[in-house]
Amino acid sequence: MRALLSAAALLTLACSDRATTEPEPQSLTGHWVTQRLSLGESASYEHHLLLQRFGRFASEVRTYGSYPGQAPDEFSGYSRVEGAFRVDGDRLEFRPVRLVEWDLFYGLSSPVRVIEPYPYGILFDSTRFEIAADHLTLRYLSYPSDAPVAATLDLTRILDSSQAF
């Protein structure tokens, strides 16, 4: 019984120490964001990627200034994919579980739409990643038509967690 209690105490200490440790600079864990990119006129978007410990992720595209009368920085909506991820060397595999969406087009009181299971198959197909300082580059295949197209997503780590999902 004493051995069992000692083992439990050690396990508790190990887990609690790990829970308070900040991610290393080269760690994928964190909140990453692209620069805001133009959609024409006053509309723009930015891509947020939250990679959590224990392999959970959220990939969210936020739009701004998309509708008539909106200021360029006014929030218009979001589309967020949630699921699990796995790292294998420089490969990153995303396993989407659900899609969560909200759009101002339907009014301020429009409901959040949740679609589960995720309806669109693979997210960031064949992803490879590089980290340099607080910059993360994802290289993956996208399928805008029927054929794969090489794509790149450049993100910067956000240290301010107030912008989390």
pLDDT at position 18, please? 38
Q: What is the pLDDT of residues 123-149, one digit of tens each?
A: 999 999 999 989 999 999 998 887 899
Mean pLDDT by 10-residue block, N- to C-terminus, for the chain (165 residues)? 36 37 64 94 95 94 94 96 96 97 93 96 94 95 88 91 58
pLDDT at position 150, please? 96
Which own/partner contact pairs does 132-139 have at CB distance under 8 Å and 24+ positions apart? 133/25, 134/25, 136/28, 136/32, 136/49, 138/92
State how far the Cα of 104 lies from the Cα of 76, in Å rounded to an integer.
5
- Return the structure tokens found at 145: 């038509």
The residues, any chain, with a CB within 8 Å of residue 119's CB and separated by 6 or more, are 99
pLDDT at position 164, please? 62
- Tell me phi and psi for residue 133, to 5 degrees: 55, -120
H or E element that contains 25? none
pLDDT at position 34, please? 97
Amino acid (one-letter) located at 157? R
Q: Are 45 and 37 in contact (CB under 8 A)?
A: yes
pLDDT at position 136, please? 97
H or E element that contains 136? strand 135-142
